[in-house]
Amino acid sequence: LIGLMELLAQTKQTAEFSANLFEAFTLATLIYFTLNMSLMLIMRLVERKVAVPGLISVGGK
């Protein structure tokens, strides 16, 4: 997985090389947001699939 520190280090290096700071960090933000949201949705599906009935309440359902 891509960690935040690695993503920001690569973004900083790219931004310094290309002199496009705003575009580079905007793209890094979008990449990080997309990865996190995707992983969050996948883990939500996994948690529902492997949940033990009666042990953990899932969001009041």
Q: Structural domain tally of the chain?
A: 1
Does any domain span residue 15?
Answer: yes
Does any domain span residue 42?
Answer: yes
User: 31 lies in which domain range?
Assistant: 1-49
> CA end-to-end span of the chain, whole Å?
31
Residue linked to tokens 């990080």: 32
Tell me the helix, strand and coil percentages in the chain, rounded to 5: 75, 0, 25
pTM of the model: 0.66
The tens digit of pLDDT for each residue in 2-58 reads 688 888 888 889 888 888 888 888 988 998 899 889 999 999 999 888 888 777 665
Does any domain span residue 36?
Answer: yes
The Cα–Cα gap between 27 and 42 comes to 22
Does any domain span residue 58?
Answer: no
The Cα–Cα gap between 36 and 17 comes to 27
Does any domain span residue 2?
Answer: yes
Does any domain span residue 1?
Answer: yes
Does any domain span residue 55?
Answer: no
